[in-house]
Each structure stands twice: as C-alpha cells, then as structure tokens.
C-alpha cells in the first residue's frame, strides 16, 4: 500500500472541498480547475477536489481535475460511508494518476445519537465496509483514507478500535479530524501519538484541524511533532465557520523552525504561496485580512521607526522569513506601450504565473490597452488582469451598451442594451446612484427574457493600485429572484476597469451568466449545489 516517504510531511490541500464549504465561496468547475492548476504549481501532495455525490457539478469538477492533474500529485474525492457516495467518488477519480478515496463517518456519541441516529457498533461496521470496498475497487496502489468525524470529541478507546479495524480492512491513511475546533495542542498531540503507536506502522496518520478556537495551525503542528505525516490544510485557512488550518502557516512553520521538526520537510514550492493566496481570495471573494500571517498585506510591512531601522540594517532583525520565500518580489514593473511580450512573460513568471500561447497574447493585449488608459501598469494591475481571466465564464447574456446620467441630490437615470441568447433588448430605469440605476435597468431587461432577475446580496469595490487612474475591482454576489431561502444558489461576479461603473456592470453580468448557466444545466454547470445535510469532517 502507498505511504509517506521517511522525513516527508504530506500536504493534503482541501481548499476545493472544505474550503469551498465556507458560505458564499462556491466555485464553478472552471474556477476549481484553475485553482487545481495553481496547486500543482505549488506542488502539494494531494488535492482534495470535492465531494462528487453532492452534485453533478462537483462530480464533473473532480473528474476534470483527476484527468488533468499529473506530476505525482494525488487527487482525492470525499464520500460518506453510505451506499452511493463511495461509488460516485471512485467513478470521479478513476482517471487520476494517483487516485485517493477519502471515506468518513462520525464517531462521537453526540453525532451518532443526534445526527446519524445509529450506535457505535453500526458505525464501526459501516467504516470497515467502505474502507474494504475502496481497497477492493481501486487496488493496492491507491490511497484509501478513513476519517472519523468529530474524532476529538470521540471516546478514545472506541476511536482506536475504529482506526485499528479500518486499517485491517485496507485503509492506508487514518485521519483524525478536530471537526469543531475543540482540541488544544497538548491533548491533540497526545491523541495523535496514541494513534501513531497503534497503527502508525501500517498506515499514515493524518490530521484535519478547524479553527473555531484559533488553534488549527497549533494543533496541526503539535500533531506533526507527535508522528502525524499528513496534514489537511487550505489556502488562506478558508473553510467552514472559522476555517481550517492554513497551508501557508503550517508549511512555513515547518520550513522556518527545522529544529522543532527534525528531518521533516514538505515538497511545497513556497515561492508559489502568494500567487495561490491571491487566486483563491479573488475567485472566492474572501479577502485576506491585512494582518494574516504569511500572506497578509502587512505580513512584511514595518511602520515603527525602530523596526524600520532594524530591517534596513539586517532584515533578520524583524523578519523570520524572506518575502521572496513566499513569492513576493518586492519590486514593481511599469508596463508601457512599447513593452514586449517576452518581458511581460518573464515578469508574470516572477509573480508566480506561467503564461504562454494565446493566454499570453490576450494578457499582453489587455496590458497594452490598460497602458493607454492609465499612467502606468503595475504588478498589482497585471495580477488583477490575470485573475480576471481566471474567472471568465461562458456568456449567453452580453452587455451591448449603456448610458447613465446623474446629478447632485438628484436621481440617476440609466439605460442598457443587452443581448440575451442573441436577442437584443433594452430598458431604462432610475436609481439612487448611477450603478443602482444601471443594475435596475439590467433587471428590467432580464425579467421578461429569463423569468427572473439577479438579486444583489453583496457589493464590494476596491482600487487595485494607488492613484486617481487606478483600476477599480468590483465583487458582487447575487441569487435569482425566483430562488428563496437558505438553499438558494449564490454566485460571485468580478469586474475590472478604470471606469468603476463599467467594472460594476461587468461584475453584475458575470454573476448573471453564472446563474443562467446553472439554470440551463439544472443547478450545476460546474456549480456545487447546497451540501448534504450532514456536516463534513
């Protein structure tokens, strides 16, 4: 059976599964594939691509990622220990270079009694049944992982009984989830040590920590010190409730404190961390807090005079890692009308993005056009352009033109012309500002054509760079007017332009096209429908 090489900590990234469970963080199949490509560049060991039984969209996303991902990286699919789930997961990952089936069932008494309504004996039988099934169907070379949901609140003797039984049945990895972030490092480390002593010779011990008490990274590192050799993490710590253990924090702790983790390394290409952080933040719409460790805007910023003096004399006085080690160059590039493709390509490579072929041509065209519209094109502008391309979706609803008038203390009046599946429609509307007026006009255009209009649930705007000619980046979240209740599909849309009204309309139309695509394809079209009622580990 597969295992983890000596001295290696396997990085299992679950951004596309647990990270996506953060409310409002849903991604299309194309967006999930774009994140997976960045995770390949980051050189994680395993990509947990999703929960195939949740929806057709999630199944298709996992299948596409499994087919594309190579380079020795595993592709994992999650499945409940319930008939139908493991079969669907295996079908999704069967084309992977390294298929990784991840089955789970809750083991704590509170979950068994109130959620699953089964006893311990039944849960044990189901765990063994589906671990054995996965091994039989995928063969000796596949990774079969078993997770005991809510392990940190499970009776420890029963938990060890379950782990021992699933390893005998064929599981090659046993995972210890701190599902509700209840553990503290000393007790969690002791729990991991007991599991390692019991099954560590026959299986890899993994941990999956949540951040409800802010201890996810600390618990994960305590687990590694006690023998865990797989850590389940997410980019930016994204995930359910308060999130998961952060990949960048765990990986950089292992790298920065080698004496605390003797002879242990990960294979992560840390110079790709910033690019991964930015991409996930952009596509999910979840901003990274400025004081976030490793990837926050202030992580390498120094304002105090004493600190500035020390850093100037020797950066090691106040920086325990270099900005370059996580993919920050510290430089700025100005692109002008005479800049060339090769220079742009090298700069994007320095910023953590490999751009070639038609993608490079398109980026170059956009960068030169932007150089015509503003004084200088900075690193931030280039990153915004490439992130915008990553979020592009097929468009059956296209903005043909718009016009708006607005005055001091007066109502704004807007008009739009929109093509819906090749048929052009126009509408006029008023609002309390130019963006509101245009959004209302879009709504009035779409309602008779589609039978619904978008309902704006969130609107954010920020400047990409400094200066009066900075690009404006707009994020919107929308649902269909025909959808009500907590299960309604909510999608995000991004817009980017030096004209903030144009950026706003662009973001609104991206959201419209995502909603329309989901409707045409029965909720999915690459979208993940509301999760199954059960909590996931």
- Chain centroid to CA 397: how far? 27
Distance CA 261, CA 299 (A): 23
Read off the tokens for 433: 């500002």
Distance CA 469, CA 77 (A): 45
Query: In sequence order, which ranges of 226-293 are alpha helices (DSSP H)?
Result: 247-256, 273-284
pLDDT band at 391 (very low <50, low <70, confident <90, very high): low
Q: What is the pLDDT of residues 161-211, one digit of tens each?
A: 999 999 999 999 999 999 999 999 999 999 999 999 999 999 999 999 999
Q: Chain-wide mean pLDDT for the chain? A: 88
The pLDDT, as a whole number, for residue 462 is: 83
Nearest to 237 by CA among 256, 259, 226, 252: 252
More confident residue, 529 or 513: 513
Distance CA 301, CA 330 (A): 11
33: DSSP letter: H
Query: In sequence order, which ranges of 170-246 are alpha helices (DSSP H)?
Result: 185-199, 216-225
Q: What is the pLDDT of residues 419-437, one digit of tens each?
A: 988 889 999 999 999 999 9
Q: What is the pLDDT of residues 45-82, one digit of tens each?
A: 999 999 999 888 889 999 999 999 999 999 999 999 99
The answer to whether the CB of 495 falls within 8 A of the CB of 506 is yes
Read off the tokens for 267: 């294979």
Residue 44 has pLDDT above 60, yes or no: yes
Model pTM score: 0.79
List, in order, residues 6 or more apart from 92 with CB less than 8 Å away: 49, 50, 52, 59, 62, 63, 66, 77
More confident residue, 145 or 482: 145
More confident residue, 322 or 58: 58
Distance CA 246, CA 221 (A): 11
């Amino acid at each position: 059976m597969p295992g983890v090489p000596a001295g290696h900590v396997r990085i299992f990234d679950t951004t596309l599964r647990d990270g996506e469970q953060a409310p409002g963080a849903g991604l299309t199949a194309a967006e999930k594939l774009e994140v997976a490509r960045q995770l390949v560049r980051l050189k994680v060991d395993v990509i947990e691509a999703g929960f195939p039984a949740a929806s057709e969209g999630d199944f298709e996303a996992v299948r596409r990622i499994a087919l594309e991902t190579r380079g020795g990286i595993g592709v994992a699919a999650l499945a409940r220990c319930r008939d139908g789930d493991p079969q669907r997961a295996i079908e999704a990952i069967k084309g992977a270079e390294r298929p990784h089936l991840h089955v789970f069932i809750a083991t704590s008494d509170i979950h068994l009694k109130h959620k699953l309504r089964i006893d311990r004996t039944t849960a044990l039988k189901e765990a063994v049944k589906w671990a054995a099934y996965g091994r039989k169907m995928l063969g000796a070379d596949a990774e079969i992982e078993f997770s005991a949901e809510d392990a940190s609140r499970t009776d420890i003797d029963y938990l060890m009984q379950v782990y021992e039984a699933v390893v005998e049945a064929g599981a090659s990895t046993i995972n210890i989830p701190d599902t509700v972030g209840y553990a503290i490092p000393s007790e969690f480390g002791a729990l991991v040590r007991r599991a390692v002593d019991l099954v560590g010779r026959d299986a890899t011990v993994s941990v999956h920590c949540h951040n409800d008490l802010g201890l996810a990274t600390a618990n994960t590192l305590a687990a590694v010190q006690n023998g865990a050799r797989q850590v389940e993490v997410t980019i930016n710590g994204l995930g359910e409730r308060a999130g998961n253990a952060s990949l960048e924090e765990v990986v950089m702790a292992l790298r920065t404190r080698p004496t605390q983790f003797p002879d242990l390394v990960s294979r992560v290409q840390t110079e790709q961390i910033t690019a991964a952080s930015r991409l996930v933040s952009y596509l999910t719409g979840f901003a990274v807090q400025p004081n976030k460790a490793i990837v926050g805007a202030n992580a390498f910023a120094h304002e105090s005079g004493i600190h500035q003096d020390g850093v100037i004399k020797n950066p090691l006085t106040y920086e325990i890692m270099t900005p370059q080690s996580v993919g920050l160059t510290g430089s700025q590039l100005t692109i002008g009308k005479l800049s060339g493709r090769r220079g742009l390509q090298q700069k994007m490579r320095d910023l953590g993005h490999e751009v070639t072929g038609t993608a490079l041509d398109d980026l170059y065209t956009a960068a030169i056009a932007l150089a015509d519209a503003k004084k200088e094109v900075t690193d931030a502008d280039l990153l915004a352009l490439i992130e915008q391309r990553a979020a592009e979706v097929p468009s059956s609803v296209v903005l043909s033109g718009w016009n708006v008038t607005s005055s001091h203390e007066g109502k704004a009046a807007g008009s739009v012309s929109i093509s819906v599946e090749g048929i052009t429609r126009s509408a006029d509307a008023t609002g309390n500002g130019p963006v509101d007026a245009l959004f209302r006009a879009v709504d009035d255009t779409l309602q008779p054509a589609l039978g619904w209009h978008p309902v704006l649930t969130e609107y954010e705007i920020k400047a990409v760079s400094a200066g009066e000619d900075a690009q404006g980046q707009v994020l919107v979240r929308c649902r269909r007017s025909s959808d009500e209740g907590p299960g309604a599909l909510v999608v995000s849309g991004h817009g980017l332009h030096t004209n903030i009204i144009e950026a706003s309309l662009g973001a609104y139309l991206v959201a419209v096209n995502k909603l329309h695509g989901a409707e045409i394809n029965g909720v999915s079209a690459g979208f993940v429908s509301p999760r199954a009622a059960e909590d996931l580990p």
